[in-house]
Amino acid sequence: MPNEYDIALNNITLEQYINQFVFRKIPLRSTFLEVNHLIQCYVNINNPTLDNLFLYCEILYGIFTQGMNEIIAEPNIAQQYAVIIENIMIILEKTNHEFIQKADNQYIIVEKNKTATQAANIVTDDTVSLQILEYNHYSLKGNLEKKRQILDAIGQCIEPILKSNKLRENGYSTLQFDAGFLLNNFHIRHNNKEGKNKQDYIASIDDAVLETWYDKAYNTLLMVIIANEQIDIQLELAQIKRDYQRKS
């Protein structure tokens, strides 16, 4: 016969189970005593926006991943957990978003971007690779300073490419020039709003327009990474073609 513990677990909710057995063991808890305290502190439940929904999903997913072994230990709890995870994944699929794992093991939701994923996989610097993906995080909308920092980091990563003749000699001279121009004149590397590096155009536009240009600069810098990789592929393929010709 089932004991009182088994009966209790069959009727307990996932939230109750986490509060009782999991929450205090995981780093995400910080100084909060219950799941709801954490959620209510960060998520405005009276403002049902997509951003708030994403944040709610991030918190839940963070709790689940940090306490995974405990959560799936009981069938009733595992079933409730599986339903919530499935719902989260449906939300992400319908909104064209996905989870990525940061260096601190935190999971965040970013917009799916095939170009960003391709560039991030090419870059050998893990920090920059994560920053490329993080640029698409929903919380960065309107955060010009954070976007500027990421663009600057990507710019430093591709600086050796821009300083070489590789792009220019292989049909990407416009891309090379545009990337350098954006980095140096669109308030990314330098203060182009005032001082010795001031650019009248940048000083005259509002933040919304500047953010649009940041997003365009982001796409341009990613294309530099991808184009550089494609040049290497073409050079390697050209050598293989020469080998084929010699053997034919």
Q: What is the pLDDT of residues 33-92, one digit of tens each?
A: 999 999 999 998 788 899 999 999 999 999 988 877 766 667 888 889 999 999 999 999
Whether the pLDDT of residue 198 is over 60: the answer is: yes
Phi-psi region of 142 (alpha: psi -120 to 50; beta: other; left: phi over 0): left
Whether the pLDDT of residue 7 is over 60: the answer is: no
Tell me what percent of the residues of the chain surpass a pLDDT of 90. Answer: 72
C-beta separation of 150 from 130 below 8 A:
no
Whether the pLDDT of residue 164 is over 90: the answer is: yes
C-beta separation of 159 from 183 below 8 A:
no
Whether the pLDDT of residue 4 is over 60: the answer is: no
Whether the pLDDT of residue 5 is over 60: the answer is: no
Please, which pLDDT band fits residue 162 given cuts at 50, 70 and 90? very high
The model's pTM is: 0.83
pLDDT tens-digit map of 224-241 = 999 999 999 998 998 898
64 CB contacts (<8 Å, ≥6 apart)? 71, 81, 84, 85
Helix (H, G, I), strand (E, B) or coil at 60: helix
Calculate the alpha carbon distances from 187 to 33, 34, 62, 104, 125 in Å: 43, 43, 35, 29, 24
57 closest CA partner among 107, 124, 125, 103: 107
Whether the pLDDT of residue 2 is over 70: the answer is: no
pLDDT of 238 reads: 87
CB-based burial label for 169 (10 Å; 0-12, 13-18, 19+) = exposed
pLDDT of 145 reads: 97
C-beta separation of 50 from 9 below 8 A:
no
Q: Which tokens is 121 given?
A: 């996989």
Tell me which of 151 and 12 has the higher pLDDT.
151
Which segments of the chain does DSSP mark as H helices, in order?
4-11, 14-17, 35-42, 50-66, 68-71, 75-94, 114-122, 126-134, 144-163, 166-169, 173-185, 200-204, 207-247
Q: φ, ψ for residue 137 (rounded to 5)?
A: -70, 140
- Taking the C-alpha atoms of residue 225 and residue 169, their distance in angstroms, rounded to an integer, is 16
The number of residues making up the chain comes to: 248
pLDDT of 55 reads: 94
pLDDT tens-digit map of 103-141 = 778 899 999 999 999 999 999 999 999 999 999 999 999
Domain locations in the chain as residue ranges: 4-107, 144-247
171 CB contacts (<8 Å, ≥6 apart)? none
Q: Which tokens is 132 given?
A: 């490329």
